[in-house]
C-alpha cells in the first residue's frame, strides 16, 4: 500500500485545528505521513501540533518562523517521503474516507491528479456545494480531451485552483515551488502543475469541507472589494502559462481578456485610494506586456476604452460573459 503525505501549513488556528487533525488521523486509509508545519504561530497551535504528535507516530511537526503559507508548503514538500501528496488547510476538515476514495480512484485510472468535490462550510447548518457534478476522467495526451478538459475547467464546472481537494503523484510537485510570501500561491502554479499531468480524474463525492472564515484572505477577496496585487499577478501568470502550454487560442484569448478586465476593474475602482505609485506602475507594466500577446484587436480596443474613459466602468459587467467575446 502506497504512502500518502498530507501537508498542513499552520498559523494561528487553535480554534479549528483539532477538528482538522481529528479528521485526518482517523482516515480509513491508514498509510499516511502527516506533516504539520507550524509557521510561527503565536497562539496555541504549535502546542496542539506537539500534543497530537505524541499520540500518533505518523505525525511529524516542524516549527519555523512566520514566512507565509508558501514557505510552509515548500518546507512540507522538502520533508515528505510519500508516493502521493495531499494538502489540507488547518481550518478545514475532511470526510473520514476521503483519501481512501481518492487513492482507489487513482489506482483504477492511474491518474496523476484525482479531484473531489468540496463544500463551502459556513456552519453545520449552512453549507454550499462546490464545483463538480459528475464523474469523469480526462486523458490529456489526447488533444481533443485536453481541450475539453480546459473548456470544462473554466466554463462548465468553474473548477477552482484549490490545492486541497486533490491527490497528486509526488513527481508532479518535485520541481515546483510555491512563490515566496505570496497569497493565492496555488493559482500561481496551477496551470504549470496541471500541464505535467497525463490523466486527471474527477469524483463528484463531497469529501472536503472548505471553511469560510470572515478574516481569511480568500473570504475577503470573494465577498468584499479588497485590492490584492498578488491575486492580480496570479491571474496574469496563469493566463500566460495557459497560452504557453496550450494550443487552444480561443480559450487563451478569453483568459487574457479576463486578466485585463480583473486588473483594470481593481485599478479603476481604487484610483481614489492612496495607492503606491510603484504598485500602480507594476500592474500597468504587466498589462502592457499582455497587450503584446495574441489577444484580439476588438478586446484591445475595449481595454483602451475602459482605461481612458473610467465612466465606462459601470459597463464592465456586460463584458464578462464569454459569448460577448469574439476573436
Task: Dig out the grid coordinates for 225 from the structure.
Answer: 472589494
Q: Are residues 139 and 277 in the same domain?
A: no
Amino acid 152: pLDDT: 78
Q: How far is CA 200 from CA 180, 205, 284, 308, in A?
A: 27, 16, 36, 43
Same domain, 90 and 116: yes
User: Is the pLDDT score of 325 beyond 60?
Assistant: no
Domain with 309 in it: 225-324
* Cell numbers representing residue 260 in the block: 485585463
Q: Which helix (H) or strand (E) holds 34?
A: strand 32-39
Does residue 298 lie within any of the structural domains? yes
Final residue of a structural domain among 195, 214, 233: 214
3-class DSSP assignment, residue 248: coil
Same domain, 142 and 278: no
Please check the confidence at residue 102 and state whether its pLDDT lies above 50.
yes
User: pLDDT for 165-189, tens place per residue?
Assistant: 999 999 999 888 887 766 666 666 7
Share of the chain above pLDDT 90, in %: 43
Q: Is residue 219 part of a domain?
A: no
User: Is 143 among the domain residues?
Assistant: yes
Distance CA 29, CA 101 (A): 9
The lowest-confidence range among 42-51, 214-223, 257-266, 314-323 is: 314-323
Mark which of 193, 214, 235 sits at the end of a domain.
Answer: 214
Residue 162 has a CB neighbour count (10 Å cut-off) of 20
Number of domains composing the chain: 2
The sign one gets for the Cα dihedral 95, 100, 101, 105 is positive
pLDDT of 6 > 70? The answer is yes
Contact present, 122 and 186 (Cβ < 8 Å): no
Q: Mean pLDDT score of the chain, rounded to an integer?
A: 78
Query: Does some domain include residue 220?
Result: no
- Rounded distance, CA 234 to CA 283, Å? 12
User: Based on the domain organization, do 210 and 314 belong to the same domain?
Assistant: no
Residues 132-168: pLDDT tens digits?
667 899 999 898 888 888 777 766 665 666 889 999 9
29 within a domain of the structure (yes/no)? yes
- Residue 308's pLDDT is 43
Q: Is the dihedral of CA 121, 56, 106, 70 positive or negative?
A: positive
Q: What is the CATH number of the domain that holds 141?
A: 3.90.550.10
pLDDT of 196-251, one tens digit each?
899 999 998 999 999 986 655 454 444 444 556 667 777 677 777 777 666 677 77
- The fraction of the chain above a pLDDT of 70, given in percent, is 63
- Give me the pLDDT at residue 178, please: 83
Cα angle: 29, vertex 34, 40; to 5 degrees = 155
Least confident of 19-23, 262-266, 268-272, 296-300: 268-272
Q: Give pLDDT, residue 283.
A: 57
- Tell me the pLDDT tens digit for each residue of 43-87: 999 999 999 999 999 999 999 999 999 999 999 999 999 999 999
Same domain, 14 and 134: yes
**Judgement on whether residues 205 and 234 belong to the same structural domain of the protein:** no
Query: Taking the CB of residue 324, how many other CB atoms lie within 10 A of it?
Result: 9
55 occurs within a structural domain? yes
What global pTM score does this model have?
Answer: 0.74
Amino acid at each position: 500500500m502506497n504512502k500518502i503525505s498530507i501537508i498542513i501549513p499552520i498559523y494561528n488556528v487553535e480554534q479549528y485545528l483539532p477538528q482538522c487533525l481529528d479528521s485526518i488521523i482517523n482516515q480509513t486509509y491508514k498509510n499516511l505521513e502527516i506533516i504539520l508545519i507550524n509557521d510561527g504561530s503565536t497562539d496555541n497551535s504549535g502546542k496542539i501540533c506537539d500534543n497530537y504528535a505524541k499520540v500518533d507516530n505518523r505525525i511529524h511537526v516542524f516549527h519555523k518562523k512566520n514566512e507565509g503559507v508558501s514557505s510552509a508548503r515548500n518546507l512540507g514538500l522538502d520533508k515528505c517521503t510519500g508516493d502521493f501528496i495531499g494538502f489540507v488547510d488547518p481550518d478545514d476538515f475532511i470526510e473520514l474516507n476521503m483519501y481512501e476514495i481518492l487513492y482507489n480512484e487513482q489506482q483504477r485510472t492511474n491518474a496523476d491528479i484525482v479531484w473531489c468535490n468540496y463544500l463551502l462550510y459556513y456552519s453545520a447548518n449552512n453549507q454550499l456545494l462546490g464545483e463538480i457534478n459528475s464523474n469523469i476522467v480526462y486523458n490529456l495526451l489526447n488533444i481533443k480531451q485536453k481541450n475539453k478538459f480546459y473548456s470544462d475547467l473554466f466554463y462548465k464546472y468553474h473548477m477552482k485552483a484549490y490545492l486541497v481537494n486533490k491527490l497528486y503523484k509526488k513527481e508532479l510537485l518535485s520541481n515546483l515551488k510555491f512563490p515566496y510570501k505570496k497569497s493565492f500561491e496555488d493559482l500561481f502554479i496551477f496551470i504549470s502543475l496541471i500541464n505535467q499531468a497525463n490523466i486527471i480524474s474527477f469524483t463528484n463525492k463531497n469529501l472536503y469541507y472548505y471553511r469560510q472564515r470572515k478574516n481569511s484572505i480568500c473570504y475577503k477577496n470573494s465577498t468584499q472589494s479588497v485590492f490584492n496585487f498578488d491575486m492580480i499577478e496570479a491571474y496574469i501568470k496563469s493566463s500566460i502559462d495557459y497560452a504557453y502550454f496550450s494550443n487552444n487560442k480561443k480559450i487563451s484569448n478569453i483568459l487574457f481578456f479576463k486578466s485585463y478586465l480583473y486588473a483594470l476593474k481593481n485599478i479603476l475602482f481604487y484610483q481614489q485610494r492612496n495607492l503606491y505609485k510603484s504598485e500602480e506602475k507594476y500592474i500597468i507594466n504587466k498589462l502592457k506586456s499582455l497587450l503584446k500577446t495574441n489577444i484580439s484587436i476588438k478586446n484591445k480596443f475595449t481595454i483602451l476604452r475602459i482605461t481612458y474613459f473610467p465612466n465606462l466602468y459601470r459597463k464592465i459587467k456586460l463584458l464578462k460573459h464569454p459569448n460577448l467575446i469574439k476573436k
